[in-house]
Amino acid sequence: WTQWMFLQLYKKGLAYKKKAVVNWCPSCNVVLANEQVIDGKCWRCDSEVIKKELSQWFFKITEYAQRLLDDIESLEEWPEKVLTMQRNWIGRSEGARIEFPIKGSDKTIPVFTTRPDTLYGATYFLLSPEYPLVEEIIKDSPYKDEVQSFKEKVSKESAIDRVSGALEKRGCFTGKYVINPLNDEEIPIWLANYVLMDYGTGAVMAVPAHDQRDFEFAKKYNLPIRIVIQPEDKKVTSDTMEAAFDEEGIMVNSGQFNGLPSSRSLDLIIDYLIKKGSGEREVNYRLRDWLISRQRYWGAPIPMIYCSNCGMVPVPESDLPVLLPEDVDFRPKGMLPLASSKEFVNTICPKCGKKAKRETDTMDTFVCSSWYYLRFCSPKTDIAPFDADELKYWMPVDQYIGGVEHAILHLLYSRFFTKALYDMGFVNFKEPFKRLFTQGMVCKDGAAMSKSKGNIVNPGKIFSKYGIDATRIMMLFAGPPEVDMEWTDKGMEGASRFLNRVWRLIYNNIDCFKEPKNKEEVSPEDIS
């Protein structure tokens, strides 16, 4: 039924395929998750990992970004921590989309910014190394070789490391310029490793006086720092600045907007850009569409067929489910696991009846967990994914329990699925879980236990010495269930002694516990 769900989303235009950059090991000939890339190398064979474009399937969760954000207000019985995490992950921001013309070209590069009031302070321009126009920009540049070398180095860095601050901020000048649409000033174009193609537009107008990352980058490469907003209570200079000034203030070095409060000039500058045809108001979201393709065996096969005559064709619902093949070769040899099964791949087009090929990607297992609670309401139903009447009785879930680590994955995906199904008329509620409880984690050395970190406790030794019940009692006594617990053996002795006292109390007074003749006439004396 997960495949049926996929087809409904596809019909509604919420499932689509496009090219996306993945980590690729040229030795193993396989796609690697970010977690499998260690210091730019494959975790299995230690080969240098490269970036490669592959066609991938996505769910258009961004279509629901504003509704997911708005309906957070209705989740009154969810932990505030989870709601805050979802708000930040969706990341709604209001600002302007500004077009920067490339000098000597008829093309422009768009930038989204929440601070158009700082536009006069842009002293350099940043592009993601993966930006599509980079090759065209550097084709006749004297810095072409340096740029290519820089791109190659960045391709071995994970996206997580590039934005986390774990890596040093590095850049490379392209030798080309864009034009500031406010004052026609030429601004040098640089590539930077901390700018990602899948966030915003992949381009940044760098204002080092008023953005800390840009400030650090400018200091490193000796780039100009121009102050365009002064604090109201003091004057700062670029020579004496130790950090970027990112608060509101009074406009300076900003042409006709000098002397205005920056909060007021923000809207005025957007209006001015709109009149010039160089910009427009825009709402942006940090949330990105959900990449569900997995180049692995385990997962529901994506129910799509590729026909040379008809193109991409969905598997008819009457032919579901598409089952995983059993004649699969799991050895890395340059093809996906499902692609190694000729019996699975080769099929007939349901439209024209000619020979065709099946999709060989499987779905992210989070797709299944995004709607399993609906199936639980009527697990024996075999003609539909769920029974509508049972759903009306049981849903939404009154009390849901799970870890806070699911805040921006399972819990967000489930909310998206529910809203999409509501729009399609399959359910009569907009939120899946009324009340949410997130239990705490058992930690050691201040972090969740992990084999990779080495901060684990062998429960077998604890059970052998004190018993399972004593371990449970100690953990229950450690604190409220929603709070993380730092593991320590010190409480085990006390928990064990407590249980032994309870056991001795019962054992030594077993004769006092006589079953009354009439169970409905039990008095306090009978159990005292």
Within 10 Å of residue 263's Cβ, how many Cβ atoms? 10
| pLDDT value of residue 160 | 63
**Residue 474 half-sphere exposure, CB side, CA atoms within 13 Å?**
22
| pLDDT value of residue 476 | 86
| pLDDT value of residue 528 | 57
**What would the mean pLDDT of 265-283 be, rounded to a whole number?**
96
Residue 231 included in any domain: yes
| pLDDT value of residue 446 | 80
| pLDDT value of residue 7 | 98
Q: Which residue has the tokens 């009340």?
A: 435
**What would the mean pLDDT of 448-475 be, rounded to a whole number?**
85
Where among 269, 285, 301 does a domain terminate? Answer: 285
Residue 488 included in any domain: yes
Residue 213 included in any domain: yes
**What would the mean pLDDT of 239-257 be, rounded to a whole number?**
94
| pLDDT value of residue 387 | 94
Residue 11 included in any domain: no
Residues with Cβ within 8 Å of 63's Cβ and at least 6 positions away in sequence, in order, are: 14
**Residue 27 half-sphere exposure, CB side, CA atoms within 13 Å?**
9
| pLDDT value of residue 325 | 93
**What would the mean pLDDT of 330-338 be, rounded to a whole number?**
70
**What would the mean pLDDT of 189-213 be, rounded to a whole number?**
92
Tell whether the model's pLDDT for residue 521 goes beyond 80: no
| pLDDT value of residue 103 | 96
Among the listed residues 430, 365, 356, 370, the one whose alpha carbon sits nearest the alpha carbon of residue 395: 430
Where among 250, 285, 320 does a domain terminate? Answer: 285
Residue 161: phi and psi, rounded to 5, are: -65, -35
pTM: 0.80
Within 10 Å of residue 321's Cβ, how many Cβ atoms? 13
Tell whether the model's pLDDT for residue 254 goes beyond 90: yes
Where among 285, 316, 340 does a domain terminate? Answer: 285
Here the CATH number for the domain that contains residue 506 is: 1.10.730.10
Residue 96 included in any domain: yes
Residue 85 included in any domain: no
pLDDT tens-digit readout, 386-440: 999 999 999 999 999 998 888 888 999 999 999 999 999 999 999 999 999 998 8
| pLDDT value of residue 469 | 93
Domain containing residue 464: 446-511
Tell whether the model's pLDDT for residue 376 goes beyond 70: yes
| pLDDT value of residue 519 | 62
Write down the mean pLDDT value for the chain: 90
Residue 430 included in any domain: no
**Number of folded domains that form the chain:** 2
pLDDT tens-digit readout, 40-70: 788 778 888 887 888 989 999 999 999 999 9
- For residues 457 and 466, give the distance between their C-alpha atoms in angstroms, rounded to a whole number: 14
Here the CATH number for the domain that contains residue 139 is: 3.90.740.10
- State the pLDDT confidence band at 296, using cuts at 50, 70 and 90: confident
| pLDDT value of residue 520 | 66
| pLDDT value of residue 23 | 78
| pLDDT value of residue 331 | 65
Lowest mean pLDDT among 25-34, 117-126, 334-343, 348-357: 25-34
| pLDDT value of residue 314 | 97
- State the pLDDT confidence band at 37, using cuts at 50, 70 and 90: confident
- State the pLDDT confidence band at 104, using cuts at 50, 70 and 90: very high
Burial class (CB in 10 A: 0-12, 13-18, 19+), 173: middle
Helix/strand/coil for 231: coil
Tell whether the model's pLDDT for residue 30 goes beyond 70: no
- Find the length of the chain: 528
- State the pLDDT confidence band at 333, using cuts at 50, 70 and 90: low
Tell me the chain's radius of gyration from C-alpha atoms: 30
pLDDT tens-digit readout, 128-151: 999 999 999 999 999 999 999 999
Is residue 475 within 8 A of residue 469, CB to CB? The reply is no
Tell whether the model's pLDDT for residue 311 goes beyond 90: yes
pLDDT tens-digit readout, 467-486: 999 999 988 888 888 888 88
- For residues 391 and 381, give the distance between their C-alpha atoms in angstroms, rounded to a whole number: 12
| pLDDT value of residue 518 | 66
Residue 259 included in any domain: yes
Strand partners, 473: none
Tell whether the model's pLDDT for residue 12 goes beyond 80: yes
Tell whether the model's pLDDT for residue 335 goes beyond 80: no
pLDDT tens-digit readout, 297-310: 889 999 999 999 99
Tell whether the model's pLDDT for residue 34 goes beyond 70: no
